[in-house]
Amino acid sequence: MTTNIKRIGVMTSGGDAPGMNACIRAVVRTAAFHQIECYGIMRGYQGMIENEIIKLESKDVANIIQRGGTILKTSRSEMFMTKEGRQIAADNLKNFGIDGLVVIGGDGSFRGAQVFYDEHKIPGIGIPGTIDKDLAGTDFTIGYDTAINTVVQAIDKIRDTADSHNRMFFVEVMGRDAGFIALSSGISVGAEAVLIPETKTYIDELIANIESGYKRKKLCHIIVVAEGDEEGGAVQIAEKVKAKFNHIETRVSVLGHMQRGGSPSCNDRLLASRLGHAAVDALIDGKLNYMVGIINDKIAFTPLAKANKQQPQINEELLRLVEVLSA
């Protein structure tokens, strides 16, 4: 089925992720290629309610593919969670003649798009933009690759000072519900332990691991902690561990929101470009209310209602790698 979509809106919603600008660029230029007008919605659903809608042409997205953040800005909107707020948003879109949406964000943004369609029949296509890589229906999300490279670069620098002073560092990375960032970066920096929400953390085992390392003359230890670990973040876990190691200097580094920033990696620019292009093609072809993702390096579609944050299946081989390679 081919739709008669003439004007589309594009927005970024929820947490920002490197590569969102590359995705906006792909959406705008694919729309222009098909002679479809494209409008940028500032600040996500809140901007939709406040009528912050601007026309975007190809020249408006020049020189943004390499930029972090999002030129459309982003926010979380409590007002859009109300029926009254969604009615205002729908009226604004209809005044612009917008008959399709591209929503770049996470599962909360997709739920909003689905409810919006149910109530106002404005179809949407979701594009996964989150550094956590925890959405069903895609192998990778925009921003994840850049985030893990940011973490690796930061921990490499931390290891230099840890080695110089024979210190133990607990490094906290993002991952409230998923440990993908911690696990991938932890293996890549040679961490002695990686603590993630998907596996139970035993402080006694961690202490024994550290003691074993020092008996083997290890001069420094790097422990990577996902913020959502059940034993707490890096600060809390470090307090529990250092009580057993008064003779070792212990430091904590919380990397925080630096993981969301920076110029997107080549992989994120490529992924964002592919998904942005596929989203517009999907609207044209009548494939409405889906999230467009990537599975086995091929474009894949998942109904928005099923593109939820999932309890990730951590690769057991990677968990084993941490144990073996830290020995």
CATH number at residue 233: 3.40.50.460
> What's the one-letter identity of residue 145?
D
Q: Do 84 and 152 have their domain in common?
A: no
Same domain, 233 and 201: yes
- Give per-residue pLDDT as tens, 287-324: 999 999 999 999 999 999 888 776 557 888 998 998 88
The domain spanning residue 47 has which CATH number? 3.40.50.450
Residue ranges for the chain with pLDDT beneath 50 = none
Please indicate, yes or no, if residue 244 is contained in any of the structural domains: yes
Q: Are residue 254 and residue 182 in the same domain, yes or no?
A: yes
Residue 200 inside a domain? The answer is yes
In a shared domain, residues 122 and 151: no
209 with 275, same domain: the answer is no
Residues 154, 63, single domain; the answer is: no
Report CA-CA distances (Å) from 79 to 7, 44, 247, 276: 25, 12, 54, 27
Distance from C-alpha of 221 to C-alpha of 242, rounded to nearest angstrom: 12
The residue from 226, 261, 296 where one domain ends is: 261
Question: Pick from 135, 97, 103, 129: which is nearest to 116 by CA?
Answer: 103
Asked if 91 and 27 sit in the same domain, the reply is yes
**Domain membership flag for residue 324:** no
Identify whether residues 119 and 225 lie together within a single domain.
no
Both 81 and 52 in one domain: the answer is: yes
Domain end point (choices 206, 238, 261) = 261
DSSP per-residue letters across 284-312: HTT--SEEEEEETTEEEEEEGGG--B---
Question: Are 201 and 153 members of one domain?
Answer: yes
Domain count, the chain: 2
Residue 301 lies in a domain: yes
Provide the phi-psi class of 258: left if phi over 0, else alpha when psi is between -120 and 50, else beta: alpha
* pLDDT confidence of residue 2: 62
Tell me which residues are annotated as active site.
132
136 neighbors 308 (Cβ within 8 angstroms): yes
Q: Which residue segment(s) compose the domain that 188 sits in?
A: 145-261
Any domain includes 28: yes
Does 112 lie in the same domain as 28?
A: yes
| Judgement on whether residues 225 and 302 belong to the same structural domain of the protein | no
- C-alpha triplet 199, 200, 205: angle, nearest 5°: 120
pLDDT tens, position by position, 229-284 = 999 899 999 999 888 877 778 899 999 999 999 999 999 999 999 999 999 999 99
Whether residue 63 is contained in a domain is answered as yes
The answer to whether residue 178 is domain-embedded is: yes
Q: Is 23 a member of any domain?
A: yes
